[in-house]
């Protein structure tokens, strides 16, 4: 039987080989994440909730000094605005579709969306990993690339990996998010007020949890400029919403954040820094938006509500 020292030497060599495996080989090792996080979750999730509660960030974000009723009405207003903007976007898309159909293109059926409410478990042991575990997985119907929001309208991340009971979310504030969308720029639209769309914004980099990107003029912003042809003024505190064709239609117009800084660069261009209004690391619960494949009947809706986990 080999001595403990020989076993240790073998373990060391194995660890060194595993540490240097190329990216495709890592998929096999990743299988072990599920059991490892399954063991830790019973302690980790309550600890995360306690940490969020003690830090008070969620309470501050929820209340911000306002009474609960006002906060709730504010949230309802935000959701109504989101629905209005999405309806307008949908109407625009339908117009385009009608035009395309007349040219003989196929119509894609529109998917409805359900929001799965799920508790946040937290980061991995090493914060540099960047991914956050959330307690909702294949069993709840979560898909890879599902959009993750807080309070229904604030975009906080995207699902990267789904296990049976948990999934891993990449926050939009993590530098890896910018690296991931480097080739297919993540973009949004700057809202001049509650209704009017301004110029487009494209993510370039992420620093200190803030999203930095360039401003691009679009047809919508030209329309906003009006007959006088004046460019709309971009000011700090303006809202930036998601407007990116590569993201699901149901995710369009979700709130990315508010403008914190506007800096002019060469050729009259602007660089805008956005501060997200919600941070997934500082909330105890998120909503995962997934395509609702269930039939839209009252009975099905009642069944979904009975579970208490998802709401249409």
Residues forming the site for other proteins (CB under 8 A):
4-5, 8, 11-12, 15-24, 26-27, 29-30, 32-33, 36-37, 39-40, 42-44, 47-48, 50-51, 54-55, 122-131, 133, 160-161, 168, 170, 173-177, 179-180, 208-209, 281
**Residue 160 to residue 129: CA distance in whole angstroms:** 13
Q: Which of residues 127 and 228 has its CB atom nearest to other proteins in the complex?
A: 127
275 φ, ψ to 5°?
-105, 115
For 10, 194, 224, 263, the CA distances from 197, given in Å and listed in that order, are 61, 9, 7, 20
Q: Which of residues 133 and 250 has its CB atom nearest to other proteins in the complex?
A: 133
Beta bridge partners of 259: 274
Q: Which of residues 72 and 138 has its CB atom nearest to other proteins in the complex?
A: 138
Least distance in Å: CB of 20 to other proteins?
Answer: 6
Q: Which of residues 179 and 196 has its CB atom nearest to other proteins in the complex?
A: 179
Q: Which of residues 110 and 144 has its CB atom nearest to other proteins in the complex?
A: 144
Which residue in the block uniquely carries the two structure tokens 């297919």? 184
Q: Which of residues 115 and 133 has its CB atom nearest to other proteins in the complex?
A: 133
**Residue 2 to residue 245: CA distance in whole angstroms:** 59
Least distance in Å: CB of 205 to other proteins?
Answer: 9
Least distance in Å: CB of 286 to other proteins?
Answer: 15
Tokens of 280: 């997934």
Number of Cβ within a 10 Å radius of residue 303: 12
Least distance in Å: CB of 61 to other proteins?
Answer: 15
**Residue 209 to residue 212: CA distance in whole angstroms:** 10
Least distance in Å: CB of 273 to other proteins?
Answer: 13
The answer to whether 138 and 132 are in contact (CB under 8 A) is: no
Q: Which of residues 89 and 175 has its CB atom nearest to other proteins in the complex?
A: 175
CB neighbour list of residue 20: distance below 8 Å, 6 or more residues apart: none
Least distance in Å: CB of 204 to other proteins?
Answer: 13
Tokens of 12: 């060391």
106 φ, ψ to 5°?
-80, 150
Least distance in Å: CB of 124 to other proteins?
Answer: 3
Tokens of 245: 């064709």
């Amino acid at each position: 039987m080999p001595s403990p020292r020989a076993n240790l030497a073998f373990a060391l060599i194995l660890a060194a080989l595993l540490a240097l495996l190329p990216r495709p080989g890592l998929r096999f090792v990743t299988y072990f994440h599920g059991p490892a996080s399954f063991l830790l979750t019973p302690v980790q999730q309550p600890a995360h909730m306690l940490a969020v509660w003690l830090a008070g960030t969620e309470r501050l974000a929820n209340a911000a000094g306002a009474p609960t009723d006002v906060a709730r009405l504010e949230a309802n207003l935000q959701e109504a605005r989101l629905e209005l903007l999405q309806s307008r976007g949908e109407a625009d898309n339908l117009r385009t579709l009608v035009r395309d159909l007349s040219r003989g293109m196929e119509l894609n059926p529109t998917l409805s969306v359900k929001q799965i409410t799920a508790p946040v478990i937290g980061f991995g042991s090493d914060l540099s990993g960047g991914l956050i575990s959330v307690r909702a997985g294949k069993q709840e119907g979560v898909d890879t690339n599902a959009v993750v929001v807080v309070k229904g309208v604030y975009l906080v991340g995207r699902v990267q990996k789904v296990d049976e009971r948990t999934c891993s979310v990449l926050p939009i504030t993590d530098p890896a998010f910018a690296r991931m969308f480097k080739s297919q720029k993540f973009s949004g639209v700057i809202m001049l007020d509650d209704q009017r769309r301004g110029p487009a914004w494209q993510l370039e980099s992420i620093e200190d949890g803030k999203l930095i990107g360039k401003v691009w003029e679009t047809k919508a912003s030209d329309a906003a400029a009006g007959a006088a042809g004046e460019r709309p003024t971009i000011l700090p505190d303006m809202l930036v919403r998601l407007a990116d064709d590569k993201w699901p239609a149901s995710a369009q117009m979700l709130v990315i954040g508010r403008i914190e800084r506007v800096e002019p660069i060469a050729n009259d261009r602007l660089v805008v820094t956005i501060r997200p209004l919600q941070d997934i690391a500082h909330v105890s619960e998120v909503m995962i938006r997934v395509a609702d494949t269930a039939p839209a009947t009252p009975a099905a809706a009642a069944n979904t509500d009975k579970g208490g986990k998802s709401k249409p």
